[in-house]
Amino acid sequence: MKIKIIIASIVIVAAIIFGAISFVETNVEYTDFHTAATSHKKVQVKGAWVKDKESLFDAATSQFVFYMKDDFGREEKVVYDGAKPNNFEIANAVVVKGRYHDGYFHASEILTKCPSKYEADGETVKKTL
């Protein structure tokens, strides 16, 4: 009977530790490039794609490279292991998740915010009034 209690206790403690570690790893905070450069943990940075600078996909390394400006105006090179998202060109905001190292931001995920076709622009609203 005691062996069952010991095994159950070990399983419960292991589940709690695993849950806590998973929560800490998935809890990614928003920051800017300056803070991301000094932080050693995974963060997410919101900003805009700098269209004036080159962006390219290297098929040999399967990396997408582009430049992004955060909400505070700091511009950084972003390297993403994967292809460019389909709606990247029409996005009005970009969020990259990852870590800053080796002089650039290494993204593990790219999220794009595209303009909604259901939102009216200011000119359309003025004309209808």
Mind listing the pLDDT tens digit for each residue in 68-97? 999 999 999 999 998 888 888 888 899 999
**Mean pLDDT over the full length of the chain:** 85
CB atoms within 10 A of CB 5: 9
Q: What is the pLDDT of residue 27?
A: 66
Indicate yes or no: pTM above 0.85: no
Query: What separation in angstroms does the CA of 6 have from each of 2, 9, 10, 11?
Result: 6, 5, 6, 9
**Residue 82: domain span:** 29-113
Residue 15 lies in a domain: no
Count of domains for the chain: 1
- Higher per-residue confidence, 90 vs 106: 106
Does 120 have pLDDT greater than 70? Answer: no
pLDDT greater than 60 at residue 114: yes
> Is residue 61 assigned to a domain?
yes
- Report if residue 83 sits inside a domain: yes
Is residue 59 assigned to a domain?
yes
- Evaluate whether 48 touches 93 at the Cβ level (below 8 Å): yes
